Amino acid sequence: MIRWPGSGALKPFARPQRWLGAWWAMVLAVIVGSMLPALLLPDVPRGGDKVQHLLGYFVLAAVAVQVFAGRRALLRAGGGLVAMGVLIEIAQGTLTTTRSMDAWDALANTIGVTLGWLSVWTPMRDALLKLERGA
């Protein structure tokens, strides 16, 4: 069995490694998509990329709420996502020639993480666990 980073703080799923692996795959997809050359990306209306940033990081944080158990694990996941968003922006500005660093993108990422993390206080916080259990 693969031991994924963060697997010690998961909700009591029947197969927790699968859900954690799926979350890590989503994180990786955001990283790869964020570093693709701008020429490969579709055109979006002005400011539309901020909505994409917010929604992408909202989904990552909301899924983290579904997968991780406990305040400490959720704070680590949320903090890690915020740091990832900032570091990706820095990487876009320093490691690519077709992308640029944008503080507004980092802010949109952070707002998305915050909104997704707030789902911990809703009845939907255990939806994935209930779905898996057939409840």
pLDDT in tens, 99-109: 899 999 999 99
The pLDDT value recorded for residue 46 is 80
Give the total number of structural domains in the chain.
Answer: 1
- Residue 119 belongs to some domain of the structure: yes
Mean pLDDT of the chain: 90
Instruction: Give mean pLDDT, residues 3-15.
Output: 76
* CA–CA distance, 128 with 28 (Å, rounded to integer): 21
The residue-averaged pLDDT of 93-104 equals: 92
Does 96 map to a domain? Answer: yes
| Predicted pLDDT at 7 | 58
3-class state of residue 46 by DSSP: coil
Q: What is the pLDDT at residue 1?
A: 43
Please tell me the predicted confidence (pLDDT) of residue 22: 95
Q: Does residue 124 fall inside a structural domain?
A: yes
Closest CA to 77 of 88, 90, 96, 63: 63
What's the pLDDT at 116?
A: 98
Specify if 103 maps to a domain.
yes
The reply to whether 81 falls in a domain is yes
Residue 88: inside a domain = yes
Q: Does any domain span residue 3? A: no
Q: Is residue 69 part of a domain?
A: yes
Identify the domain containing residue 94 by its residue range.
Answer: 48-135
State the number of CA atoms in the 13 A half-sphere of 43 facing the CB: 2
Q: Is the dihedral of CA 85, 91, 92, 93 positive or negative?
A: positive
Provide the pLDDT for residue 3: 54
Report whether pLDDT(74) > 50: yes
* 19 vs 76: CA distance, rounded Å: 17
